[in-house]
């Protein structure tokens, strides 16, 4: 089985953590007095970019903007499917200005950007699987936005309710292992309402189930190319479980970013053509 997993080259959009800091608290991970080691954050982030490129993925960068310390979390600024860009409208006032800078990048790169009417935070809560868009709500992205996303892409949107403030974005509780038609996911069931858990169990009977420990170590904030899984080294149990399923874990430590409630996936937006 291990050799049957086929990686697909991706195009990623990222933003260098030049102005990264914890200056406000909009999730339980953020302690406003927590110090970020800026050099370490830079090194960790560069290591992620090197790992992507070493595995054949293309990486584009948005210019970071002073005064927007969370702009490094590129995943939150849009969701792109079939070359169509659905932009973001952040829940927190502190993050709202980020959208303009990402929209400018997309327009310069030749994409039209749909400006949403309802609060939604891009790939943080909107996770394309190949067949559906799995959509989180409960803390940030609204159900109104889910409807808007379905109307825009014409892809079935599956609404899932998040219930644990530590897992405030869908991409902290679930990730896609492989986005082919028979694709599979990994998730932490207790992060979801009982009904949403049942929905996931129906849609993905063979999903890999994660533990609270896996989730608390940002193991679910991973990026998979269908074979390689870029994953936090702290999520040891989950990484070895994925290896048993035929995937190749690629550990990348973003511990400085965990202090802001983000990890590998948060730092990575996928541009799907």
Which positions touch ligand ARG (CB under 6 A)? Answer: 26-27, 30, 70, 73, 75-76, 95, 124, 169, 171-172, 260-262, 266
Q: Say how far apart CA 50 and CA 187 lie, in whole Å.
A: 27
Q: Say how far apart CA 160 and CA 188 lie, in whole Å.
A: 13
Q: Say how far apart CA 221 and CA 265 lie, in whole Å.
A: 5
Those residues with Cβ within 8 angstroms of residue 33's Cβ, 6 or more apart along the chain or in another chain: none
Provide the minimum distance between the beta carbon of 25 and ligand ARG in the complex, in angstroms, as a whole number.
Answer: 9
Structure token digits, residue 30: 């953020």
Active site residue 258: no
Q: Say how far apart CA 46 and CA 59 lie, in whole Å.
A: 12
* Nearest residue relative to ligand ARG (C-beta): 266
Q: Which of 57, 114, 146, 169 is catalytic?
A: 169
Residue 113 bridge partners (DSSP): 85
Q: Say how far apart CA 268 and CA 175 lie, in whole Å.
A: 13
Provide the minimum distance between the beta carbon of 48 and ligand ARG in the complex, in angstroms, as a whole number.
Answer: 14
Active site residue 146: no
CA-nearest of 96, 93, 106 to 11 is 106
Q: Which is nearer to ligand ARG, 10 or 95 (CB)?
A: 95
**What DSSP state is assigned to residue 140?**
S
Q: Which is nearer to ligand ARG, 232 or 260 (CB)?
A: 260
Provide the minimum distance between the beta carbon of 265 and ligand ARG in the complex, in angstroms, as a whole number.
Answer: 6
Q: Which is nearer to ligand ARG, 172 or 217 (CB)?
A: 172
Q: Say how far apart CA 221 and CA 202 lie, in whole Å.
A: 22
Q: Which of 15, 120, 241, 266 is catalytic?
A: 266
Structure token digits, residue 108: 């310069």
Q: Which is nearer to ligand ARG, 5 or 70 (CB)?
A: 70
Q: How far is CA 25 from CA 109, 118, 255, in A?
A: 33, 22, 17
Q: Which is nearer to ligand ARG, 28 or 194 (CB)?
A: 28
Q: How far is CA 30 from CA 33, 258, 260, 265, in A?
A: 9, 9, 5, 17
Q: Say how far apart CA 65 and CA 166 lie, in whole Å.
A: 27
Q: Which is nearer to ligand ARG, 105 or 218 (CB)?
A: 218
Alpha helices in 138-235 (DSSP H): 143-153, 194-203, 212-216
For the annotated catalytic residues, the residue numbers are 169, 266
């Amino acid at each position: 089985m291990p050799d049957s997993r086929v990686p697909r080259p991706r195009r990623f959009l990222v933003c260098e953590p030049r102005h990264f800091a914890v200056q406000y608290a909009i999730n339980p991970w953020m302690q406003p007095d927590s110090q970020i080691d800026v050099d370490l954050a830079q090194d960790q982030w560069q290591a992620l970019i090197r790992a992507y490129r070493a595995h054949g993925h293309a990486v584009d960068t948005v210019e970071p903007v002073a005064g927007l310390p969370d702009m490094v979390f590129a995943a939150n600024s849009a969701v792109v499917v079939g070359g169509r860009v659905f932009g973001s409208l952040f829940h927190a006032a502190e993050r709202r200005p980020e959208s303009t800078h990402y929209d400018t990048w997309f327009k310069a790169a030749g994409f039209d950007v749909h400006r949403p009417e309802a609060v939604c935070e891009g790939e943080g809560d909107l996770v394309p699987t190949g067949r559906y868009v799995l959509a989180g709500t409960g803390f940030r992205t609204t159900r109104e936005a889910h409807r808007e996303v379905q109307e825009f892409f014409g892809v079935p949107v599956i609404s899932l309710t998040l219930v644990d403030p530590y897992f405030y974005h869908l991409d902290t509780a679930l990730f896609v292992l492989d986005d082919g038609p028979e694709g599979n996911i990994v998730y932490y069931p207790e992060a979801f309402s009982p009904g949403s858990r049942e929905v996931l169990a129906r849609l993905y009977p063979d999903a890999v189930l994660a533990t609270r420990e896996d989730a608390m170590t940002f193991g679910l904030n991973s990026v998979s190319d269908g074979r390689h899984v870029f994953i936090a080294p702290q999520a040891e149990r989950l990484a070895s479980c994925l290896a048993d399923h035929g995937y190749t874990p690629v550990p990348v430590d973003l511990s400085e970013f965990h202090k802001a409630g983000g990890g590998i996936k948060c730092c990575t937006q996928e541009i799907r053509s």
